Amino acid sequence: MSDNGVSEASGNVPAWPSLPFEAWGDTCATLHMWTQIAGKVRLVCTPWTNHSWHVPLYLTARGLTTSPVSHGSRFFQIDFDFLGRQLSIETSDGGSGTMALEPRSVASFYAELMAKLEELGVGVTINTTPNEVPGPIPFEEDHEHDSYDAEYAERFWRVLLQTDRVFTAFRARFLGKNSPVHFFWGSSDLAVTRFSGRPAPPHPGGIPGLPDWVTREAYSHEVSSAGFWPGGAASPTPIFYSYAYPTPEGFGEAKVEPSGAFFSEEMGEFMLPYEEVRGSPDPDAQLMAFLESTYEAAADLAGWDRGSLETPPGFPRTS
């Protein structure tokens, strides 16, 4: 990678592109609802897995995917292709369908996707109330969110793709229980989580549009979690974040890297503006420093057994 963050293999396409929320906020809100619809399809077709690991979407070389989902003995997959600007559905017996990713209402997107699944013999019924958003509008009634800027949707995917790469390298340094790197469509963030192995006190819940029992199961054990969030109406700035549950005493006063990182008392987590990473001569190193230092602060203050949980990068530990 060159010093300006442009991938040499991709010509003039920035690996870490500019993503000002004010330029694509309406598209972000619409895409959030579209990914919730696809995610809920996966949710109803997949057995419950601890910490809701059965619901996220995953990065591909062209966008986001549900990964293969079972429908009886058949399988199907829903893919957002941000390069081809379409959504595709593929089934294990050769069926396929596509939808254009273009300006359209959530209600229109929902109706067409459900119809195409029915046509392919993999129809499902989902809960149409969005999760984790204030004032949720049922998908079939949502004519408010109807924006789609394909360029910015692609930029968002490229940020997720590079973030996934660094998060995956970070994940490889942990021997203990460790989540996949996955895209949670409820909050529209890419996240990776490390576990101490010890039970945690019951989470207080209270997340809008998310049942408390789901939250309590997700945080049943101590975690140090990091992620990327593109921003929202309440906080229109893309950020990397890192938090611990339960939050150990003194966590907010810990010294972390890089210098642009700060602790948000309101959110109870460390934050690093995306622009700090994108504008760095070495974005990978900046982001990894944030991930490592915030994890170390959480693990040290909470007394995790780091010697048994961590492994050197690039080499499998056998003892």
Count of Cβ atoms closer than 10 Å to residue 31 Cβ: 28
Grouping H, G, I as helix, E, B as strand and the rest as coil, residue 201 is coil
Q: Which helix (H) or strand (E) covers residue 14, if one does? A: none
- What distance in Å separates the CA atoms of residue 16 and residue 5, rounded to the nearest whole number? 6
Note down pLDDT in tens along the chain; length 319 residues. 333 444 333 447 899 999 999 999 999 999 999 999 999 999 999 999 999 999 999 999 999 999 999 999 999 999 999 999 999 999 999 999 999 999 999 999 999 999 999 999 999 999 999 999 999 999 999 999 999 999 999 999 999 999 999 999 999 999 999 999 999 999 999 999 999 999 999 999 999 889 999 999 999 999 999 999 999 988 899 999 999 999 999 999 999 999 999 999 999 999 999 999 999 999 999 999 999 999 999 999 999 999 999 998 877 777 6
The reported pLDDT for the residue numbered 319 is 65
Question: Which has the closest alpha carbon to 33: 118, 128, 160?
Answer: 128
User: What secondary structure letter does DSSP report for 256?
Assistant: -
3-state secondary structure 285-317: HHHHHHHHHHHHHHHHHHCCCHHHHECCCCCCC
Residues forming beta bridges with residue 218, ordered by sequence position? none
The reported pLDDT for the residue numbered 7 is 39
The reported pLDDT for the residue numbered 235 is 87
- What distance in Å separates the CA atoms of residue 208 and residue 94, rounded to the nearest whole number? 40
> Residues 186, 176: contact at Cβ < 8 Å?
no
The reported pLDDT for the residue numbered 13 is 81
The reported pLDDT for the residue numbered 117 is 98
